Structure 1
């Protein structure tokens, strides 16, 4: 296959350009130091296996930009890009995935380090699947992505081993038509001390839930062993009057200046020293803030005024043209 041959022949610093067209691809291993650049290229999975995979011992300094990835959707929990490494500091590291569309299957990872997932679009991922799903993320950012008509936007689990879960930023993402959770970042049970450090969830905008699950939550940021967790300036809105807008836990975790509208419970906190302050929490069916029975959580200066008949906020959706197949463009 021409694509596989080009990757094998490439050297560190090379750019492999995919010309416009439709490529039917099986499982292909990425190569370190190589940029994969799409020019209106559509990569379609030939099975439920990923299109791109990582070698846990040699996958670093890789850039993937401007593709349309079409998964077959048979297993929505399996990513069309699968980045599985190990606890070694350089295993699957310095990866950038940007300006691409993922349809029917998202991105999955384990032990992903120093990565940026930015400017992508994840859509039409069926029940059980997430746009971004993985374990053991470290020193990475997930920002400016769109999640539309997906069961769950993100699902990330931290705390398997030490020296993971540090300095993670999840910011400025948009979600429309979610079924379960918009952004879920969980620790392990029992919690590992320091399972996350300096986790920041900021400026995200999620609205409108489709076919909601029983445990619908806007932002579930619950790393019980985490330190320095901040959930700041996010927006989440629904008309469900069920579920939770934001939940936090961790050592002195903070939920501040968020806007939460239309859930059963607005914001809840589970750990000693947590802080819920300066938020706007409106139209809650049960209560605006919950401390889960704790007396050592600070709840202060929140605006909880009811706003009747408020029109739902629709986050900007830039739309997508990356997955349009031209009749003459087939490979």
Structure 2
């Protein structure tokens, strides 16, 4: 299937802060990321804060400039648009931001918030049809028609996020960038919003780039998952495969951090963490000597992993090898149909290690 969105070796660099000694070299927020989103599918992008995942969303929305690579939407490189995005692109690509209360204009009624994109993108012939469309959008996101005269500050966080989703749907988009859309909500509301997004995708066929730091949430909604660290994409693959059989040590770390509703299992985790913390010094000493450590717990990260040569995860990885310090590992296929950037991973061809063919 032809990709709706295709990122090709995308890099975004931000200018360093100026100081009395002058400005430094631009720092990469995103470095050589490639991914594809097919029509009607969800690609989940997960990683720690500062990993660059939100910068990718902003680059797709043309809120930041790209340094290298290409963003191809529906077969066209969006760099060809010039400085201003055409109305057709703004209609086709919408966004749902993280904080629902600040994403909406507090001085506008819900009706006015929804009418703005309707009038810009739909060009309906009468106000009566515009009013019917407002009611339809509210119904699609599970809100009653009487909310149209209310204001964002009169609604709960979950209700505000539903309005933000309705506003995104008003232009009939083909892709919605969901930038941590549930992280500011409580757990029960999170599940309601996730279920709503899934229902809307099934009904309308819209594609999502779903950005989050919680791998459990991403697993629930995504078809494909990408794991980012320090501006790099370290692992991609089918959501269930990445969750059940992670190929990268960093992905395994993220999964290990997910709480388990089992007191005995949690106690066992705490015991292992205490033992593994003792091994951190071994990892750090081995890293200084370029020796592969036997410890299982990663050491503390470097002050600026992006400034290091080789793999950005090297200072935290329990499987680090000398080659990791000088060579960035290429993306290698995994048995589950994904790809991983790790020197310790054996390249796979149709599920068979290359060395065993």
What TM-score comes out, normalization by structure 1 length? 0.27
More helix by share: 2
Q: Normalization by structure 2: what TM-score?
A: 0.26
Please identify which structure carries the higher strand content: 1
Q: Which has the higher contact order (CA 8 A, sep 6+)?
A: 2
